[in-house]
Amino acid sequence: MSEVKLAKRKDKCENCTKQCNKKQGDEGASPHQERDEVSEEVLEGSQLLLSACLSCDGCLSEEETLKISQQSLEEVKQVLALNKKCDVSKHKVLVASVCPQSLPFFAVKFGLDVNEAAHKLCGFLKSLGVQYVFDTTLAAGFSILESQKEFIQRYRRRNHDSHALPMFTSSCPGWIRYSEHVLGSLVTPHICTARSPQQIMGCLVKDYFSKQQKLSPDKVYHVVVAPCFDKKFEAVREEFYNSLLESRDVDCVLTSGQIYYLMEQRKVSVEELDSVPLDQVLGEGGDVALVRHDGRGSEGFLEHIFKHAAKELFGLEVHEITYKTLRNRDFQEVTLERDGETLLQFAAVYGFRNIQTLVHRMRKGRVPYQLVEVLSCPGGCLSGRGQAESEGGRVDKTLVQQMEEVYCSLPVRLPELNPTLHTLYQDWLQGQDSSQTSKLLHTQYRPQSQTHTQPPHMQW
């Protein structure tokens, strides 16, 4: 790499470090509160949160920069333009999958309820040339059920497997990337192997749906609309690429903000958009009302696994979960007790500062939890930088609050009670305990070596 590029990268990194220090100072606990918890190595050097910095290429390798550049509006526009030309052999069927955490963003921006906003968004995407639009709640249901099953398995082998517990959730790519590139073997064996909702949706589209449509996966171009930039990195992980078919499970991730920007670019008003119901993976007819999973706006892995484990392991029915706030609203725990005995202790840890506290305790062997739901964005997925960041670079707290209210207005549906999931387990995966289920709904997370130059004061 040239000296000029290295110098530019250093300047960017130093600027990011200053900005990140300032942002971190505005989030969560005060520095005085942190000192007794966070290790000296963390205090000595600035630690950057990927989700706050992914739009800057200062810390990325050349290869990573190229991959991210392909996750763009321009790339999607090229595919759409190619479809309008006469060469049918190069046409692709465009499929868009919208994350449930993105829909409240459009509801607030459109001034509509979430179901109508979803229909308007679907109308806009189809006006561009997208043939099918799904929401990823179904895929999240798979991820929750597989995470529940894995937790039970880990809990039962806890006495002879030192890596079984605690189990860390695997749905947040910012957390996963940080774990693989920085924390390594301290954390990676503890990460749940269930794929994230995004990547399960990728399998569902490229494997099941493409077969139903009698299409080769490489003839399907799959776009995911997500609240967070980190999802772009997740889409280009090597294990989610089929080299024989030259096809990724997810071809492109666009943030909610990028889609909204495209609407503004084209001067599209909500009123003039057609209201089009979302498509269903099984092709069911008629409109289906949106539902959500239990929890705090990030698919509720903690709550689902907690209730499932209470019933499966101890025969206890838990209907309501009470969170106990520890350091701040992004570091909370829940406890299951019986006759004064603590049976289960889970935690929700959001935001980079709180993650650092968790890691420090992990190093000291002072993590009392059997499961930790870890998310890199303070506030969770609704606060993703791809939709909640204001023009000044800060999180728009008013917007986030409005999105939380919209999200909570959706009815809750347990994935266990979703007949479509049971149908797909049988018709697509040949059963819940099949090799196909293991292959398509799970992956492995391992320590990754760093091959690109980075300043000594930074860690990824």
In our burial notation (b when 16+ CB lie closer than 10 A, e otherwise), range 238-270 reads eebeeeeeebbbbbbbbbbbbbbebbeeeebeb
Comparing C-alpha atoms, which of 91, 83, 102 is closest to residue 224?
102
Give all domains of the chain, ordered by start, each with its CATH number: 143-194+293-405 (3.40.950.10)
Burial class (CB in 10 A: 0-12, 13-18, 19+), 14: middle
Global confidence as pTM: 0.85
Report the distance separating Cα 354 and Cα 363, nearest Å.
14
3-state secondary structure of 435: helix
Asked if 431 and 437 count as a contact pair (C-beta separation under 8 A), the reply is yes
Report the distance separating Cα 46 and Cα 180, nearest Å.
18
3-state secondary structure of 334: strand
Q: In the prediction, which pLDDT does 1 show?
A: 41
Residue 130: CB atoms within 10 Å: 19
pLDDT by position in tens, the chain (length 460): 444 443 444 444 444 545 444 444 444 443 334 333 333 333 223 333 444 443 334 455 677 677 777 788 888 988 998 888 867 777 899 999 999 999 999 999 999 999 999 999 999 999 999 999 999 999 999 999 999 999 999 999 999 999 999 999 999 998 998 999 889 999 999 999 999 999 999 999 999 999 999 999 999 999 999 999 889 989 988 889 887 777 899 999 999 999 999 999 999 999 999 999 999 988 775 557 899 988 777 889 999 999 999 999 999 999 989 999 987 889 999 999 999 999 999 999 999 889 999 999 999 988 999 999 999 999 899 999 899 988 777 889 999 999 999 999 999 999 999 999 999 999 999 999 999 999 999 999 988 865 443 333 333 2
Q: In the prediction, which pLDDT does 363 show?
A: 92
Cα 418–chain centre separation: 21
Q: Which residue has the tokens 């008003």?
A: 269
Report the distance separating Cα 343 and Cα 345, nearest Å.
7
Report the distance separating Cα 429 and Cα 195, nearest Å.
15
Phi-psi region of 176 (alpha: psi -120 to 50; beta: other; left: phi over 0): alpha
Report the distance separating Cα 62 and Cα 66, nearest Å.
6
